[in-house]
Amino acid sequence: MAGVADVRRRVLMISGAIDTTDHDVSVSVNLPEPGRWQVIKSETNLTDKTWVAMQVVTDEDSTFVNDADTLVLSRQFSKSFMTPDQRRLTFYDGEVRPGEAVLKVYSLDAGGRKPTYSYSRYSPIATDTAEQSQQTLEELISNGMKQRPVIELIVPVTVIG
C-alpha cells in the first residue's frame, strides 16, 4: 500500500491490495499534520472470497466525520453505518469479488500525525443459507465485526501541495 497526502486540499489517497481472509489489516499513516482529512482508499481483493461488508475502526485519537457536508460512500456498497461515537464505519449492501477493487471515501478527524485504523471484511460462509448470511450481516453491522489476528502496515505517504 502507498499513500499521497495533498496538504492544500486536505485529502489522503491510499491504494493497495489485500490478500488475506483470516486477518484484519491495521493501517498506520504519517500525516503532515493532524486535523480533518478526506480519505480516498482503494484496495484490490486478492483473496478467493467475495466481500459483502467492510468495517473501518479508528484508534482512540481519531473519529470519522459525520455531517451533511461530508462524503461517506463506496462505489461497491450502497449503504453505510457509523456508530454514534464515530469510531466505527461499516460499508454494506454490495460486494467485492475476487480480483475486483473497492473504493471508499470518508473523512477522518485525526487527533495526531500518526492515526491508525483497522479494516475488517465479511464474506459469507459457503455452508450458510441466504437467511443465515443476512442475519449474520445484520448482527455485524449493529455489533461490529469480531477482531481477528491483525496484520499491521505502515503506509508510506508522499506529501504534495
Which residue is listed with cell 481483493? 45
Return the domain boundaries, the chain: 2-159
CB 41 within 8 Å of CB 15 = yes
**What's the mean per-residue pLDDT of the chain?**
93
Q: Residue 91, SS3?
A: strand
For 62, other C-beta atoms within 10 Å of its C-beta total 20
Neighbour-count burial of 102, counting CB atoms closer than 10 A to its CB (0-12 exposed, 13-18 middle, 19+ buried): buried
Q: Does the structure show a pLDDT above 90 at 130?
A: no
Q: Where are the beta strands (DSSP E) in the chain?
A: 2-6, 11-18, 24-29, 35-45, 51-58, 62-64, 73-74, 77-82, 88-96, 101-110, 116-122, 150-155, 157-160
- pLDDT tens, position by position, 56-83: 999 999 999 999 899 999 999 999 999 9
What's the CA gap between 37 and 106, in Å, rounded?
A: 9
pTM: 0.92
- pLDDT tens, position by position, 140-154: 999 999 989 999 999
Which of 147, 100, 143 shows the shortest CA–CA distance to 121? 147
Q: Where are the beta strands (DSSP E) in 10-50?
A: 11-18, 24-29, 35-45
- pLDDT tens, position by position, 51-61: 999 999 999 99
Q: Does the structure show a pLDDT above 80 at 10?
A: yes
